[in-house]
Amino acid sequence: MMEEIQSKQERSRKFETEVIHSGYDALKHFGSLAPPIFQTSTFVFPDAQSGERRFAGEEEGYIYSRLQNPTVEMLEQRIAALEKAEKGLAFGSGMAAVSAVLMGMVKTGDHILCSEGVYGCTFGLLHFMQERFGVSHSFQSMDGEEQIRAAIRPETALIYVESPINPTMKLVDLKLVAEIAKEFGIPVVVDNTFSSPYLQRPLELGCDVVIHSATKYLCGHGDVIGGLAAGSKELMSHLSMTTQKDIGGVMSPFDAWLLLRGMKTLPVRMDRHCSNAAELAKQLRKHPRISKVLFPGDPEFAQYTLASRQMDGPGGLISFEICGTKEDAQRFMNALELIKIAVSLGDAETLIQHPATMTHAVVPPEDRAAMGISETLLRLSVGLEAWQDIWADIEQALNT
């Protein structure tokens, strides 16, 4: 009875509590407040028979860190708790997570239906899978029910969505997509990197798998490369024993430990990212040298109503267009002093990048144009500095 009460208490805990406590019991690890790092490649069996049983799946226990590691397992349990999933998996990078999920869920002859924009390396992976393995894909605006239904083919085996989409910030109605997909028996995979589970939980909206580049907001400090996926126990176990184990893009124990540490401050960091971004979006919209601002928290954003319904906050990313040419956009970036030119996001430092020549350079120009990525579009990852200082740097660069 006590176990049942405890289980109910754990299920009802707030996000801010789960992100600190879930997946780790200090009393089971000599009372260490900080999770220990099990920095080992392999594990010793008590006897030969035990090794046989573990390899046969008849006995619980660790075998080899590519298969399972206690520190990594703590992180996997934590992301599962935060995303309201049954099981989580950790990978060596965000793209390791994306490739393991996609390759583990489709086969030759299948079709993947994608949101109209995706991260540049995901775009490259999709084309690689089409050329080498015969898995086709298509990009589709998912603004309405008719568009989604019309884009589903008899061979569609997976729907892959980014929301917000990188870097245009366009949203996809995840609940609508999930409801339609279930009618056809098609799983929905969502890259939730831009929002983090603090702001958006796709599984609660009916989607099947959620993916993160843990390098970004989950880490928050720019010192880890990692990826996470979460979903049902059945599907995650299948991926664990196939594309994760056999391709081998696993996370190291030390990186898992750094992520466990970084994630503890996710709620307070995200609150600051969001509030800073909201202030900067207001300033950008008023400046005569900015032609367009794309930010889900802006009341003038085309999908502001959907953002308010689907997300618990607007996030810390703003995309905007500079008046002029690509060279004008680059001159503006070069004039920045506080803001760093770098192709990541979610760090304490404010970062800026030029998608057309950086993160989405692999995407052909005509496809970039269809995605809404112009030559003057810039993506700003708003950091934790005082927003007034960030704006002062933007303003002086715009006036240069």
The answer on 151 and 89 residing in a single domain is yes
The answer on 29 and 129 residing in a single domain is yes
Burial class (CB in 10 A: 0-12, 13-18, 19+), 327: exposed
pLDDT per residue as tens digits for the range 342-374: 999 999 999 999 999 999 999 999 999 999 999
The answer on 142 and 122 residing in a single domain is yes
Last residue of a domain, one of 214, 230, 263: 263
The answer on 309 and 369 residing in a single domain is yes
Last residue of a domain, one of 212, 242, 263: 263
Stretches where the chain sits below pLDDT 70 are 1-11
The answer on 287 and 257 residing in a single domain is no
Catalytic pick among 24, 54, 110, 119: 119
Task: Answer whether 92's CB lies under 8 Å from 249's CB.
Answer: yes
Residue labelled with tokens 């399972």: 68
The answer on 160 and 49 residing in a single domain is yes
Instruction: Look at residue 9 in the predicted model and tell me its pLDDT.
Output: 47
Backbone angles phi, psi at 397, to 5 degrees: -70, -35
Check whether the bond before 167 is cis (ω within 30° of 0). Answer: yes
Instruction: Look at residue 11 in the predicted model and tell me its pLDDT.
Output: 54
For residue 71, give the nearest of 219, 287, 255, 235 by alpha carbon: 255
Instruction: Look at residue 398 in the predicted model and tell me its pLDDT.
Output: 96
Range of the domain at 175: 2-263
Task: Answer whether 166's CB lies under 8 Å from 117's CB.
Answer: yes
CATH number (domain holding residue 155): 3.40.640.10
Instruction: Look at residue 400 in the predicted model and tell me its pLDDT.
Output: 85
Active site residue 191: yes
CATH number (domain holding residue 316): 3.90.1150.10
Catalytic pick among 110, 160, 170, 191: 191
Active site residue 66: yes
Catalytic pick among 170, 201, 216, 368: 216
Edge-to-edge strand ranges of the sheet holding 136-140 = 87-91, 227-231, 209-213, 188-191, 156-162, 111-115, 136-140
Concatenate the DSSP letters of all residues of 84-152 into one string.
T-SEEEEESSHHHHHHHHHHHH--TT-EEEEES---HHHHHHHHHHHHHH--EEEEE--SSHHHHHHH-
Domain count, the chain: 2
Active site residue 87: no
Active site residue 216: yes
Last residue of a domain, one of 228, 263, 298: 263
Check whether the bond before 164 is cis (ω within 30° of 0). Answer: yes
How far is Cα 219 from Cα 165, in angstroms, rounded to an integer?
Answer: 20
Catalytic pick among 53, 66, 84, 326: 66
The answer on 251 and 147 residing in a single domain is yes
